[in-house]
């Protein structure tokens, strides 16, 4: 279950970033690939993985506590699109 959450958090961040990148022009698949590369290269992926592991260890089966913490991690690790 935790792998699904980690993957889902990454997808949300990449898709949000890609959405703002697509406000300009470009091929959607190229923009998503760029978002994934940015997610991996910027260290965001590593930060999220580390933060989520800490949350899972501290609040193992308490879903009421984990949910707002996951949302907080997503908000803190947003990737911002800066137009060229």
Q: Which domain holds residue 45?
A: 1-77
Q: What local confidence, expressed as pLDDT, does residue 16 receive?
A: 92
- CA–CA gap between residue 48 and residue 56 (Å, rounded): 12
Rounded Cα distance, 11 and 73, in Å = 13
Q: Does 59 map to a domain?
A: yes
C-alpha torsion 34→37→40→45, nearest 10: 30
Establish if 51 belongs to a structural domain: yes
Length of the chain: 84
Residue 83 lies in a domain: no
In a domain, 82, yes or no: no
Task: Work out how many domains the chain is built from and give that number.
Answer: 1
Query: Can you give the pLDDT at residue 70?
Result: 94
Decide if 27 is inside a domain.
yes
Q: Is residue 84, in this structure, part of any structural domain at all?
A: no
Q: What is the full per-residue pLDDT of the chain (84 aa) written as tens digits?
A: 789 999 999 999 999 998 888 886 778 888 899 999 999 999 999 999 999 999 999 998 888 889 999 999 999 999 986 655
Residue 72 lies in a domain: yes
Alpha helices in the chain (DSSP H): 2-21, 28-41, 44-58, 63-76
């Amino acid at each position: 279950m935790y792998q699904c959450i980690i993957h889902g958090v990454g997808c949300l961040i990449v898709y949000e970033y890609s959405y703002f990148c697509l406000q300009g022009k470009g091929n959607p698949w190229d923009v998503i690939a760029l978002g994934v590369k940015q997610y991996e290269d910027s260290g965001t992926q590593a930060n999220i993985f580390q933060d989520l592991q800490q949350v899972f260890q501290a609040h193992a089966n308490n879903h009421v506590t984990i949910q707002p913490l996951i949302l907080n991690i997503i908000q803190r690790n947003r990737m911002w699109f800066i137009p060229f």
